[in-house]
Amino acid sequence: MDATLTKVFIWDMDETLILLKSLLNGTFAQSFNDLKDADKGVQIGRMWENHILNVCDECFFYEQIENNNTPFLDALKQYDDGRDLSDYEFDRDGLCPPFDDLSLKKIAYRHRAIAHKYKEVFYSISQSHFSLVYYLVKCSSLFFQGLQNIFDKEMLRVWDELYDMTDEYTDRWLSSGTC
């Protein structure tokens, strides 16, 4: 029998996405019979949308690799030569279609960089004493401890403020599901 400890992380995104969509389209406020300011909810939803897209682009190369339908990060591993990426200039390597072997190599580099960022984010969580961690957007401070590895202090402050603003607007919907 394998005696290794398996840690399971569950991110309940479906309810979170439903909440964010309901903020964006105003249905969250409508469900309160106009007791909530619909414009404020839409504004909060747009802020989430913008921040999420910015993180996808800035940290995970979304805009650069979105047209390459790779099912998982290791799918292009055979194109990765293991080059040290610490000084690699992703924005200057000329990645563009068509996706020939050279382009796939550049995408493989991005996939490795993304995998490294995931490890940075979740390292502090995996070092915790929890064998099962359930979090929606912000599970206490565990997730944000991990984000400190890829966000600067200003970005963490912005996300914390957006979280708090959303939690207040939604009558503590977000914090009701945290660890």
Q: Which residues are annotated as a binding site for Mg(2+)?
A: 12, 14
In the chain, the amino acid numbered 36 is K
The DSSP result for 47-114, as a single string, is HHHHHHHHHHHHHH-HHHHTTS--SSGGGGGGG------TT--GGGS---SS--HHHHHHHHHHHHHH
Contact 71, 65 (CB under 8 A): no
- Report the C-alpha gap between 51 and 143 in whole angstroms: 16
Catalytic residues: 12, 14
